[in-house]
Amino acid sequence: MRDVKQAMCEIGQHVLDASGILNSKQVDSFIGALLSAKRVFVIGAGRSGLVAKAFAMRLMHLGLDIHVVGETITPALREGDILVVVSGSGETGLPVSAAKVAKKIGAKILAVTTYPKSSLASIADIVVILPGRAKTESTTDFVHRELAGEYASLAPLGTMFEITAIVFLDGVVASLMTSLGKKEEDLRARHATVE
């Protein structure tokens, strides 16, 4: 039980800290691009892919023309479309490859990543930087922490980025709701009825 509470506090504090250092210009550009989009596509790999899909669901609830890359019913990406790419490292193969293809087609690339100097960030038109885990755990780190009486992070691998990304994107949805004049009832009306 103690580990659960400790992990929740650690993750929650990370999200709060991240909200305090968000770059307002990056966020405003990200939201502005979505507001002016005719069609939006999203992609991510692994857990970042699940975050992207959750965001796509909310955009659909808002009435946007939204598609998830890789689904069997996803239409062709065209010039002028938007591709939102969620990748903590900004180096994950499939999302970065998709962004490169989208760029050649003439789509606008919106990236959510931790690394401003990543391959993804270098080709994106708009980049929102979210802090993730600073570094991975090593044996040296473990020994140092044991001697200092410290504990290891209870949020392994990409957890900090993924949780921060989903909370950030839900914040974007809240902003879009306000800008579009939508209420929760409007979103509920587009919610799945067959599940």
Q: pLDDT by residue for the chain (195 residues), tens digit each?
A: 778 888 888 889 989 999 999 999 999 999 999 999 999 999 999 999 999 999 999 999 999 999 999 999 999 999 999 999 999 999 999 999 999 999 999 999 999 999 999 999 999 999 999 988 644 444 445 455 445 544 456 666 778 899 999 999 999 999 999 999 998 888 888 888 887
Structural domain contains residue 147: yes
* Exposure of 160 in the CB half-sphere (CA atoms within 13 A): 26
CATH number of 91's domain: 3.40.50.10490
Q: Cα Rg for the chain, rounded, in angstroms?
A: 18
Structural domain contains residue 8: yes
User: Is residue 137 left, alpha or beta, with left meaning phi > 0 and alpha meaning psi from -120 to 50?
Assistant: beta
Instruction: Name every residue whose Cβ is closer than 8 Å to that of residue 184 and which is 6 or more positions away in sequence.
Output: none
- Specify the pLDDT at position 139: 42
Nearest CA-CA partner of 42 in 4, 74, 88 = 74
- Specify the pLDDT at position 185: 87
Structural domain contains residue 194: no
| Structural domain span for residue 175 | 2-189
Q: Which residues are catalytic?
A: 162
Structural domain total, the chain: 1
> Does pTM surpass 0.85?
yes
- For residues 24, 26, 30, 35, the Cα torsion angle rounded to the nearest 10 degrees is 50
